Amino acid sequence: MKTDRELDSLFKSTFNEFSHEIPSEVFMDDLDSRLSKSKSKRTLGYWRWYLSGLVIIISIVGWSSWNIMEARTTKEPVHTNLLKEKKEIKIQAVEDEVNEITKKGNDKVYPSLSNKKVSDNVVKLIENNKNKQNERAIDKVLSGEINLLPVEPRYNNLDSQLTFTTYIIEELNLANSDTLKKDSIQLSKLLETISSTSRKQPVEKKWKFSMSLLNGVSHIYSRTGTPTIEDAQQLAFTSSYTQEDLKDFVNHRKSIESAITSWDMSIRMEAKHGKLVISSGLDLIRWGERISFGDTLGIEQLNTYSYLNIPLNIGLNYSFHKWQLQPYIGVSLGMSINNAMGDYVIFNDPSADYMVSNYRANKFSGVLQSGCLIEYLSTSGYKVMLNPTIRTSISNIVEDGLIKTAYSSFGLQLGVGYQW
């Protein structure tokens, strides 16, 4: 073996063939733990998606069922419900009074009834509530056309006036006439109005709290820090690519990074005082970045970066019946909890032989955010929410010296919660 060629040939011929070999216990133990780990990781991954799906389904079903229940309640004639309630609570007392009047049954009482005039306060009350729908019925009552025989309208307090109106309705219902029955419906609406004014308003609590779970996705619409040609050259670790290849690489990366999406899950705690809303909680943001440079460098990989942030938002609350709008601004700060660099595998391009995937996620995560929370709050305190958000990072997602990736994104979350 004199020459280099002969020496090379000795090593090449010896090592080119692989003899059959059984892996030792050390290899098998390590493999076993890796396979188990990867399976449990995948199972956890599936659960995460099942859970997300479940929250969305519960949100939709919950929201729909509240609406259906609401619709059913409003379909029932209001006056029937009110009459039942009034009958149970008030009728007995009034009947007693009427009975008393009837017992007396003397001419002193009857003329006043036959006079069919109501007290001035009641007239005022009824007239104040007069509108196009009920004016006909009210005119009939006030003109005495409707028989108010059993009622002595001398009660000036509101409860008595309600009772009076209830009796009017009953009278109208008892009358065997379609027109009068229509009048009765109009009057029942009047009763509802009066009834609502008579309810004691609950004392407004100074602070209201709520807790909710939100789940959604966001999408990058702008970013900074796309690598320069020089960065790309270092990134590709090669001097053999042409400038054109590297330009392609940069352009691909620009277009691919604009397609980054994230999965966002938030636990949100909220405190309201008047119009002021302060909220905080826990945000789990998981970015997924699919890299595919099959045409130029022959690379395909998926990088993921997960962050756990604590947000602090300040907003204002505007109520519209059961709907609430909450525009807010805030900041969300946290730490990287996991970053998984994708594996590269080069299939087809023999010239693109090697690529290192050494991006490093930044440990610190800071985000400025604003949005407008839209809530539907049921009377029982449960709520469904839609949360469109805009975020701008104040730190880079990736920071490894070559690639610095900051972003602005638009996201949408759906959630359920409870307010007390």
The residues binding another protein (CB under 8 A) are 1-4, 6-8, 10-12, 14-16, 18-23, 26-28, 30-31, 34-35, 38-39, 237-240, 343-347, 353-354, 356, 358
Q: How far is the CB of 15 from another protein (least distance, A)?
A: 5
Q: Which is nearer to another protein, 143 or 240 (CB)?
A: 240
Token digits of residue 339: 């970053």
Residue with tokens 């609950």: 202
Tell me the C-alpha distance between 155 and 178, whole Å.
Answer: 29
Among candidates 320, 416, 413, 374, which has minimal Cα distance to 62?
416
Do 126 and 190 contact (CB within 8 A), yes or no? yes
Token digits of residue 243: 């400038």
Q: How far is the CB of 399 from another protein (least distance, A)?
A: 17
Q: How far is the CB of 18 from another protein (least distance, A)?
A: 4
DSSP state of 342: P
Q: How far is the CB of 382 from another protein (least distance, A)?
A: 41
Q: Which phi and psi angles does 40 have, rounded to 5°?
A: -70, -30
Q: Which is nearer to another protein, 11 or 420 (CB)?
A: 11
Q: How far is the CB of 359 from another protein (least distance, A)?
A: 13
Q: Which is nearer to another protein, 240 or 380 (CB)?
A: 240
Q: How far is the CB of 249 from another protein (least distance, A)?
A: 15
Do 346 and 299 contact (CB within 8 A), yes or no? yes
Token digits of residue 93: 């007392």
Do 277 and 315 contact (CB within 8 A), yes or no? yes
DSSP 234-272: HHHT-S-S-HHHHHHHHHHHHHHHTT-EEEEEEEEEEEE
- Mapping DSSP to helix (H, G, I), strand (E, B) and coil, where does residue 56 land? helix
Conformational region of residue 225, where left means phi above 0, alpha means psi within -120 to 50, and beta covers everything else: left
Among candidates 304, 308, 324, which has minimal Cα distance to 316?
324
Q: How far is the CB of 389 from another protein (least distance, A)?
A: 33
Q: How far is the CB of 292 from another protein (least distance, A)?
A: 12
Tell me the C-alpha distance between 170 and 192, whole Å.
Answer: 14
- CA 290-296-302 angle, to 5 degrees, is 15
Q: Which is nearer to another protein, 333 or 346 (CB)?
A: 346
